[in-house]
Amino acid sequence: MSSDAVERDTAASRRLRKLALDDEINSCRRCDGLNIDGVTASAPGYGCLTSPVVLVGQSLCEKCMETQIPFTEGSGDLIDDGIKRAGRQKENLFISNAVHCHPLKNRASHQHEIVNCSPFLHRELEIVRPRLVITLGRDAERVLRFFYPRARISALPFEAPRGRLPKGVPYIVNAKHPSWIQRQHDDALEDEYASSLAAAIRWSFGDAPEEAE
């Protein structure tokens, strides 16, 4: 089989695995009160299945139930800004959550909900196989530390890792949730946050860093 055929076969395999996983997420009833249509509905991870970067948030927001896209509007505006500064579009990346459902009234996720949903996230990461994972909030940070105990971990502001990284695991960058950043009402902090996200995203794609003006 030629390299092109292998690549096509791999891409097709990823799509089929993701479609099957999406069906499982949409039909999941592991947690009482979650995944109720229009109330606490779920949304699978969204984006490119060959993205070198995955962004992982806490749980699905209310607006995201409608769009089925994590980080739609609200705090997602900061994420969108970082992606735009990196010269990419949202669909170029892969974005998911530690909990794929919308906890009622945006409450914090319960521990058992995070545990019940973590296999879905882990399987998404196995499909995408990113070079970099950016966690957005404590729930995502804890889950990724559990998934990848050998991973090199840092925090924003982003700095490219030096030396050889462990094989088979992504580089992990922990960031505060964008909603926390917005609640500070600090334009300079928001600018630094979006710029650092952009730097991390550019690194994952192998893009050269921007020169200082």
76-120 tens-digit pLDDT: 999 999 999 999 999 999 999 999 999 998 899 999 999 999 999
Separation between Cα atoms, residue 203 and residue 131, nearest integer Å: 9
Predicted TM-score of the model (pTM): 0.92
Task: Please report, as a single letter, which amino acid is at residue 199.
Answer: A
DSSP 169: S
Task: Please report, as a single letter, which amino acid is at residue 195.
Answer: S
Mean pLDDT (the chain) is 92
DSSP, collapsed to helix, strand or coil, labels residue 102 as coil
Token couple for 169:
């695991």
Token couple for 88:
């990419």
What CATH number belongs to 3-204?
Answer: 3.40.470.10
The pLDDT tens digits for 127-167 are 999 999 999 999 999 999 999 999 999 999 999 999 899 99
Which pLDDT score is estimated for 211?
41
Domain segments of the chain as ranges? 3-204
